Amino acid sequence: MSCTCIILAGGRSLRMKEDKTLLFDNVNQLYHRLTELGFPTIIACGSKERMSLFDGTCIPDTDDIDSLPKVIKSFVDSIEGEIQFFPCDMYLLSTEAILSILHQQPGVPVDHNGREQYTLSRTFSGWNPASKPTLREMFATFPRNDMGEYGAELTNFNHPEQLRALNKSNQ
């Protein structure tokens, strides 16, 4: 199924106290994996100053965008067809997991712990999202997609101790 992929790489994490988009060169690696699979891919890079940090097509936020729901709405309003969003901080995604995500129906993936992964949502073609303050509200009516065996790979890294544990496991 065809879609446009958007990598959400807007900037510094308040909880991590660093720019998760630059860790492990994950954004560029994900960009290349998606384009090699034949999917048009755009990097939502936040500010104009960040455009040079990434390979590929980067689109900065406009001045009126001040939240992730507004970023997502701006892409949905400007791109025809289905959109598959990817967060910058799912460092464990295998190629098989990415393919499973790309072949899912529009909806919100659910990880192995039953958590809804809104930043990994797939939108419907023609969806006209209302402005909502949270992703939970924005995607409230979307079906939920059980990611089955790949659910454990849908881990977001939001706290420094998670990153330390990942670094230790990679040594």
Per-residue model confidence (pLDDT) at position 16: 42
Please check whether residue 153 is in contact with residue 99, taking contact to mean a CB–CB distance below 8 angstroms.
no
Per-residue pLDDT of 28-69, as tens digits, reads 999 999 999 999 999 998 888 888 888 889 999 989 988 889
Domain count, the chain: 1
Q: What is the pTM of this model?
A: 0.87
Q: Domain range holding 119? A: 4-169
Regions of the chain short of the pLDDT cut 50? 14-16, 159, 166-167
User: Could you give the C-alpha distances from 87 to 31, 168, 170, in angstroms and in order?
Assistant: 11, 22, 21
Alpha helices by DSSP H, listed for 14-106, are 26-36, 68-78, 95-102
Q: What is the pLDDT of residue 88?
A: 84
CATH number for the domain spanning 73: value is 3.90.550.10
Q: How far apart are CA 59 and CA 93, in angstroms?
A: 23
Which two structure tokens, joined as six digits, stand for 88? Answer: 């910058």
